[in-house]
Structure 1
Amino acid sequence: MKLNHFTDFGMRVLIYLEHLDENESTSLDELAEKFKISRNHLIKVVQFLSNNNLINTKRGKNGGITIAHKAKTIPIGDLIHLLEQDESPIIDCQAKACIFPSQKCQLKQLFNLGYQAFLKVLNNYYLKDLRFENLNQIINQ
């Protein structure tokens, strides 16, 4: 299984914001520069996070992007599932003709169980658990 770029960037943004001081904010430009990510792509990620109340965005002179309380209370597995935005199964038996009878093949079920186990393990952790001692030094560079 491979997480999509959108999920990767979303998690990077949330982890970064989690490390900022409580009254500190950042900007799209700063995030794009720090992560070496296209600003246009990052806009979509930030908009999604904002629409799902995981971050707060404020325009203007005293504006910026901050982490929302909701993001701090959602387990990592649930964040990953939300960011993945894909309800389709990991394996799609209908996508191409398959020689195996679908009622006897258990591959799809096995992958779905694996995905659920993956999320279950990640749901034991929150953004606060991803804190790095030296990340504040990296952020402030």
Structure 2
Amino acid sequence: MRLTSFTDFGLRALMRMASGPERAFSTAEIADEFGISRHHLNKVIQRLARHGFVTTRRGTGGGAMLGRPAHEIVLGDLVRLLEQDQAIVECFLPDGACCITPVCGLKGRLRAAETAFLAELDRSTLADIALPATVSSAV
């Protein structure tokens, strides 16, 4: 299974925020640290904020910070949110059409694999993968 860069950026940003839950991180700071697009990261942070995973503040001292404790944020929930509308195969899309669907033996197996993948992520929280506060200069 391959995750989108949207999810990758979101997970990395949240891992960084979990390393210092008492402070706000600017998207510029996180983007520069990880060498990722600020524009793309802004979109990720907006989605996370809309769903309560982060809170944001504008102005001096502003930025994004965790919206709830890291131990309450389940990784499977994050991946489901960030991968929303990203089917692993075309036939999983609501309007996905495939000429072999009536006889396909692959779709059910892929669905089971996806379910197992997310079930494994449901066993861990953001606290389990938080970056150490001292890693930021080494990343």
The residue number in structure 2 matching 1:12 is: 12
Question: Against the structure 1 CA distance between its residues 129 and 29, is the aligned structure 2 distance closer, same or farther, given a 3 Å change threshold?
Answer: same
Residue 136 in structure 1 maps to residue 137 in structure 2: no
What is the aligned-residue identity percentage?
36
CA-CA distance at 1:105 after TM superposition: 1.7
SS in 2 for 1:92: helix
Q: Distance in 2 between matches of 1:87 and 1:36?
A: 24
Kindly indicate whether residue 36 of structure 2 is the aligned counterpart of residue 37 of structure 1: yes
- Cα shift at 1:109: 1.0
Segments of 5+ residues of structure 1 without an aligned counterpart are none
Which segments of 5 or more consecutive residues in structure 2 lack a partner in the other structure?
A: none
Q: Which structure 2 residues correspond to residues 1-141 of structure 1 after superposition, within 5 A?
A: 1-20=1-20, 22-69=21-68, 72-86=71-85, 88=87, 90-92=89-91, 94-95=96-97, 98=99, 100=100, 102-132=101-131, 135-139=132-136
RMSD in angstroms over aligned alpha carbons? Answer: 2.2
Query: Which TM-score applies when normalising by structure 1?
Result: 0.84
Greater radius of gyration (CA): 1
**CA deviation digits over 1:95-124, x for unaligned, max 9?**
45x4x4x33322111101100010001100
**Aligned residue pairs, count:** 135
SS of 2:30's equivalent? helix
TM-score, structure 2 as length reference: 0.85
Cα deviation for residue 74 of structure 1 reads 3.1
